[in-house]
Structure 1
Amino acid sequence: MSDTTPTPSQAGEPSGEDIVAAHEADLLSQAQAELAELKAKSAELADQFLRAKAEAENARRRAEDEISKSRKFAVESFADSLLPVADSLEAGLAIKDATPQQIREGAEATLRQLVAALERNKVIAINPAAGAKFDPHQHQAISMVPAEQEANTVVGVLQKGYLIADRVLRPALVTVAAPK
């Protein structure tokens, strides 16, 4: 008697090999979908990186341009504020028969214009009063002299100093009281 019992594949049921093959095919399609998704994400991130890099480069270039323009126009503004001083000096020199009094008045008016132009551009005079404490950051001692005031204080100013935006452009040249 022969065994005529049908096998699972003959009965229409999948065999173990068919189940494994179907499972592997399913895993392969999942892996391919995941790979496609990761490739798309990678392309998106690469695009974002390139855009961010380009934006950073553009920002750097714009900042350099702004710095260059601000330097250029800062000098332009300073020069523009000094033009009236030059005009006043030229006008004063054009007067041939000026009296000493007129020359003095013109020089004082021109000096006021110059001081105002310097102050508008944040150039401030350092002119310490007699008796003020010596400040090595703003003053340069030329000599120490005996004086009837506290030691290490300013006795006299030989030449004014100047600050520009709170930075010493030139220290004031001063004489300082010597210790007793």
Structure 2
Amino acid sequence: MAKDSQTPLDDELAREEREAEPQAETVEGELEDAIEGADQAATEAEAADNPEAEVLAARVEELEQSVAEAKDQAMRAAAEAQNVRRRAEQEAEKARKFALEKFVKELLPVIDSLEKALESMGDEASEAHIEGVSMTLKMQHDVLAKFGVEVVEPHGEPFDPQFHEAMAMVPNPEMEPNTVMDVMQKGYLLNGRLVRPAMVVVSQAAG
């Protein structure tokens, strides 16, 4: 499979990462050179019993701390750049997955109408007519499934308020309470996210 072309955001993040690395290396190099020079000066001062030795030693310690801080800042900057890239990729993937949600919602009433038409056809309907509607409905379902749409048809399953909408509660001694007795309208998911809940009739304990 061909690799997706980079977006302007990808190019910008990559450029910032490339620029951050040499800058961090330059800062570290300059500080390390300064420490080396200060170390040498401190050694020479101690050898000559120079009173500036303590000052130079303090300077060395200060420079070493600066190096540690510079390294920490460089690591934090690199980590933040990676986090920004990761968040951008996640948002792009989310947008790609759910870009069709509005279109799917508009298409569902068409599917509902085809299903009702098929259910209402009596013996007087011709076989060709029934087959034509059935094939059209199947094509609609196949296209939706291709783009990650799933049907929610929970007949006989426990009622789940996350995916089902109870339209009525009916006493039924033959079923466990809180079980879906009938599906009045199917629900649909798009890549696992609810687009429309299933409208259902739910059983309750007989009074």
Which TM class, normalised by the smaller chain length? 0.5 to 0.7
Contact 1:143 1:176 in 2 (8 A): yes
Q: Which runs of 5+ in 2 are unaligned?
A: 1-45, 108-125
Partner of residue 155 from structure 1, selected from 159, 178, 181? 181
Contact 1:149 1:177 in 2 (8 A): no
Partner of 2:88: 65
Deviations 1:8-28 (A, max 9, x none): xxxxxxxxxxxxxxx9x8373
After superposition, the CA RMSD in angstroms is 3.6
Q: Which runs of 5+ in 1 are unaligned?
A: 1-22, 86-99
Partner of 2:54: 31
Matched, 1:173 2:186: no
TM-score by length of 2: 0.50
Alignment map for 1:122-133 (pairs within 5 Å)? 122-129=148-155, 131-133=156-158
Partner of 1:141: 166
Following the alignment from structure 1 to structure 2, what is the Cα–Cα distance between the partners of residues 139 and 72? 25
Partner of 2:145: 119
Classify 1:127/1:60 alpha carbon distance in 2 versus 1 (closer, same or farther; 3 Å): same
Number of equivalenced pairs: 138
Deviations 1:95-122 (A, max 9, x none): xxxxx76565444334323323433444
Partner SS for 1:45: helix
Classify 1:139/1:26 alpha carbon distance in 2 versus 1 (closer, same or farther; 3 Å): same
Q: Which has the larger radius of gyration?
A: 1
Following the alignment from structure 2 to structure 1, what is the Cα–Cα distance between the partners of residues 167 and 139? 30
Partner SS for 1:53: helix
- Displacement of 1:45: 1.8
Following the alignment from structure 2 to structure 1, what is the Cα–Cα distance between the partners of residues 191 and 95? 18
Following the alignment from structure 1 to structure 2, what is the Cα–Cα distance between the partners of residues 68 and 148? 49
What percentage of aligned pairs have identical amino acids? Answer: 27
Which structure features the higher share of helix residues?
A: 2
Following the alignment from structure 1 to structure 2, what is the Cα–Cα distance between the partners of residues 136 and 170? 12
